[in-house]
Structure 1
Amino acid sequence: MTPAQLAALLRTVLLDAVDAGDVALSREDVPDTVKVERPRQREHGDWATNVAMQLAKKAGTNPRGLAELLAARLQQADGVAAVEVAGPGFLNVRVDTGAAGELARAVVEAGAEYGRTEAKAGTRINLEFVSANPTGPIHIGGVRWAAVGDSLARVLQATGAEVTREYYFNDHGAQIDRFARSLLARACGEEPPEDGYGGQYIQDIADAVLQDVAAAGETDPRTLPRPMAQEVFRARGVERMFGEIRASLHEFGVDFDVYFHEDSLHESGAVERAVQRLREAGHVYEADGATWLRTTAFGDDKDRVIIKSDGNAAYIAGDIAYYLDKRERGFDEVIIMLGADHHGYIGRMMAVCAAFGDTPDVNLQILIGQMVNLLKDGAPLRMSKRAGTVVTMEDLVDAVGVDAARYSLARSSADTTLDIDLDLLVQRSNDNPVYYVQYAHARIRNVARNAAEHGVLREDAFDAGTLDQPADGVLLAALAQFPEVVTRAAELREPHRVARYLESLAGAYHKWYDQCRVTPRGEDPVDDTHRTRLWLNDATGQVIANGLGLLGVSAPERM
């Protein structure tokens, strides 16, 4: 019996009690979904619910009394072995062996769909992440967002949401000017300006721009007046750099649906339209020759200049226009993932959200990620051979591979500082978390191949009642948790929950492997227990593959 099946059964029991007049509730008082979860101590039962405690006040009774009424009705249902009332009104439910074992077949038959729900069906989400400036390779902080952001997109899609992955292409502003000046300086054999960009990649891109210009039969930009030459390096250099960024992300398994150019907001008049809309709503005023947004009316610590006294748009004006653009494109939720140095951005943007009449933390959600430290030989790794100043995506992938890089970055809460031991991630040992999970999948597939060689075939039989050993129950219980893990990971925007679950599931499988056999010993005949355990073996492999897929990590057949 899956958690969803038990939840549906509990709801039916509640509705039947209401219809019979045993409970002073209306059918509308009964929740659409009754929450069930694993008890903290397995000896208390397979599942627990506090629904009696939630509804007792409305029903005009005490929680324990309502729980006892529900327990008596639930005890009579097929698949329920025992129901106990605990504490102030918890219901602890034990399902019979056959009902629990049916999950193995249900998982295999569901295949890649197991764990997926329609909880967010009909919700359009715009998820913006990475958005590194096209002035250099993606540094390790951006790589963390690539892994976490893409995993979050997959998790949200698994709950039925329509997700658009978006990259905000910062091609407007002072950093692009510095980038262009740095390229021009390198092309002319000069050192970059003090506020410019260093690293071998600047020389590489400058050389590539010169080659592109020559191939196109255009004038060597070094012979042009400095401002004209800088524009050549700006246009071609940004295009080259961003092409490298997109290629690196693709190799990392991350592709975006939309690449939104910051410049387009200024060129299209979107900034002016957004300011005018806020002005019409009464949230804009003039002071000291500048135009201000009254963000303090919505919880910000100070009002914000949106048009400076020189007539140019302040940086936040582009952010305001960009948020409005996303909402006008029909997105219900706008999620923005930012680095650790952007905490100050939250208050002002939530105020902007409210000023447009939207709901902060619902229509606009901002996630802040913390720093990543890479360790090699026990010491911090601080410098890239190519970038010169930071560790890049290529450095990490070259050191440990895409799977280990993605998994290690996605397995911890993004709002905590992360230390990654590169030496550990290349070890083929249980201390390496990605190896531990992937090895479990490879072992599962090897068991299936071995079973076929011994004539153990799933199609020949399935008898859920044979899954009666404690290790069978523990593994089935772990499999049953997967849909709830995915749902919670989506609700809390925490894909690391999937990784931690997979590690727990892999541990349960390895113990089961040591205690339960899929193939007979020696000359013993194949029986239904072997065949049914093959279903359980394959169900576990399916869940691990599904979970790794949500993290963008492969599930190897052999290791």
Structure 2
Amino acid sequence: MTPADLSLTVLHAVRRAVDEGALRVDVPARVKVERARPGGTGEYASSVALGLARPAGLDARDVAAILRERLQGSPGVRAVDITGPGFLNFTLDGDSGRELVREILRQGEAYGRRGPTGDVAQPVHRADVRAAVTADAVRRILASQGTLVRVACEDAADPDWALLGARPEAEHARGRLTTDIVPLPVPFGAAELHRRFGRDAARWGLLSAAGHDHAPLGDELLRQHEDNPLFRVRYAHSRARALVRNAERLGFRPEPDEPAAPAGSVDPSASELLALLRDHPDVLASAARHRAPDRVARHLEAVADALLTYQHGVLPLGDEKPSAAHRARLALAEAAGTVLAGGLSLLGISAPDQI
């Protein structure tokens, strides 16, 4: 892992801490890492916690502890220590993410999901289409984290909600339970949304924004263009599947046990993609805890963008012969596609193999 790779990893940890509400600061444009100085530990160090402490209103060592929690287990990082007033010190290893990729490919779309926990939840949603679709996605996400879920509506359900895959399992008299899923409503009914956008695009439009924000329900949802996040996510998944098909024609398959790069080096685009894949279980847990499907949507956008950047070096070029590195890169791309498919399924959105 190079200093640039490590800088991206630390910056990603800061973003996670901000997204999860653990830090209330502006995310810096970059994070500086440098060789550890005498008195430190490991190979590299960063003073990022000291710079964030004042705007966060916290002690620098507390900020460092928040970041260390999100850095432990990152690809290529063996240990994270806090020294002095709040320096983060990193001990690196030769981990290329092989264990992570192997685990994702072994679990498939179940990666990031948990077995039964014994927890029970009954989300109650307002009687409108956005709340109904949000409640359906919350049900899927909670269930993925081992919670037994029964959805209820505060009033009579609209049969048209079924067009978008949302239907309460039970209704109850007004006032008996607290209505806790109340996103801003939209000026369309389920039938109109289905007619205009179809199920997948309508669900993305309803779920991709936080509940307190207005849902993006314009014609951009149907554009086959990179400025459409839904298109990017589904296209990235289809590219992962296409890479596997094309590799088979070239006579090789994904192999996560092979080294993707020479010892001691990591492609920055691979490092970013690995970090996002490693975050996936935490993102699902956070989305379940906050009942926020938009967190899954934002994470899928980040994975898709990282995969689309990474994909260009996966297959051999020209007369180049397939190598162990190509097999490992293909395995990482396939793992990313698997995470995208699993995340889309939790939002109730299909992941086509070809677009």
Match of 1:38 in 2: 13
Match of 2:168 in 1: 256
Match of 2:19 in 1: none
Structure 1: gaps (5+ residues): 1-36, 51-61, 133-141, 171-241, 263-317, 324-334, 337-365, 374-390
SS of the aligned residue for 2:95 comes to helix
Confirm or deny that 1:512 pairs with 2:305.
no
AA partner of residue 450 (structure 1): N
Match of 2:353 in 1: 557
Structure 1 segment 463-482 matched on structure 2, within 5 A: 463=259, 468-482=266-280
Match of 2:198 in 1: 401
The answer on whether the counterparts of 2:96 and 2:266 sit within 8 Å (CA) in structure 1 is no
Q: In the superposition, relative to structure 1, how do residues 149 and 98 fare at CA in structure 2: closer, same or farther (>3 Å)? A: same
Larger CA deviation: 91-100 vs 471-480: 91-100
Confirm or deny that 1:164 pairs with 2:153.
no
The answer on whether the counterparts of 1:166 and 1:259 sit within 8 Å (CA) in structure 2 is yes
CA drift of 1:63 comes to: 5.5
CA drift of 1:46 comes to: 11
Match of 1:493 in 2: 291
The answer on whether the counterparts of 1:48 and 1:92 sit within 8 Å (CA) in structure 2 is no
Q: Distance in 2 between matches of 1:145 and 1:509?
A: 32
Q: In the superposition, relative to structure 1, how do residues 550 and 90 fare at CA in structure 2: closer, same or farther (>3 Å)? A: farther
The answer on whether the counterparts of 2:209 and 2:216 sit within 8 Å (CA) in structure 1 is no
SS of the aligned residue for 1:521 comes to coil
Larger radius of gyration: 1
CA drift of 1:370 comes to: 1.6
Match of 2:25 in 1: none
Match of 1:428 in 2: 224
Match of 2:5 in 1: none
Q: In the superposition, relative to structure 1, how do residues 454 and 419 fare at CA in structure 2: closer, same or farther (>3 Å)? A: closer
Larger CA deviation: 94-103 vs 442-451: 94-103
Higher relative contact order (CA 8 A, sep 6+): 2
Q: TM-score, normalised by structure 2?
A: 0.74
Corresponding residue to 1:539 among 330, 335, 353: 335
Match of 2:117 in 1: 121
Confirm or deny that 1:147 pairs with 2:133.
yes
Q: In the superposition, relative to structure 1, how do residues 531 and 47 fare at CA in structure 2: closer, same or farther (>3 Å)? A: farther
Corresponding residue to 2:209 among 404, 408, 412: 412
Q: TM-score, normalised by structure 1?
A: 0.48
Identity of aligned residues (%): 31
Q: Distance in 2 between matches of 1:112 and 1:445?
A: 14
CA drift of 1:426 comes to: 1.5
CA drift of 1:401 comes to: 1.0
Confirm or deny that 1:102 pairs with 2:77.
no
Larger CA deviation: 459-468 vs 491-500: 459-468
- How well do the aligned residues superpose, as a CA RMSD in angstroms? 3.3
Q: Deviations over 1:495-526 (max 9, x none)?
A: 10110111111111111123x22x22233221
Q: Distance in 2 between matches of 1:48 and 1:491?
A: 31
Q: Deviations over 1:131-161 (max 9, x none)?
A: x3xxxxxxxxx22112211111111112211
AA partner of residue 468 (structure 1): V
Match of 2:183 in 1: 369
SS of the aligned residue for 1:150 comes to helix
Q: Distance in 1 between matches of 2:166 and 2:271?
A: 37
Match of 1:214 in 2: none
CA drift of 1:551 comes to: 0.8
CA drift of 1:548 comes to: 0.7
Q: Deviations over 1:416-435 (max 9, x none)?
A: 233421x2112110111211
SS of the aligned residue for 2:150 comes to strand
The answer on whether the counterparts of 1:111 and 1:542 sit within 8 Å (CA) in structure 2 is yes
Structure 1 segment 52-91 matched on structure 2, within 5 A: 80-81=77-78, 83=80, 85=82, 88-89=85-86, 91=88
Q: Distance in 1 between matches of 2:233 and 2:255?
A: 27
Q: In the superposition, relative to structure 1, how do residues 156 and 46 fare at CA in structure 2: closer, same or farther (>3 Å)? A: farther
CA drift of 1:530 comes to: 0.7
AA partner of residue 370 (structure 1): L
Structure 2: gaps (5+ residues): 1-11, 16-29, 34-43, 50-59
Q: In the superposition, relative to structure 1, how do residues 94 and 38 fare at CA in structure 2: closer, same or farther (>3 Å)? A: farther
The answer on whether the counterparts of 2:255 and 2:328 sit within 8 Å (CA) in structure 1 is no
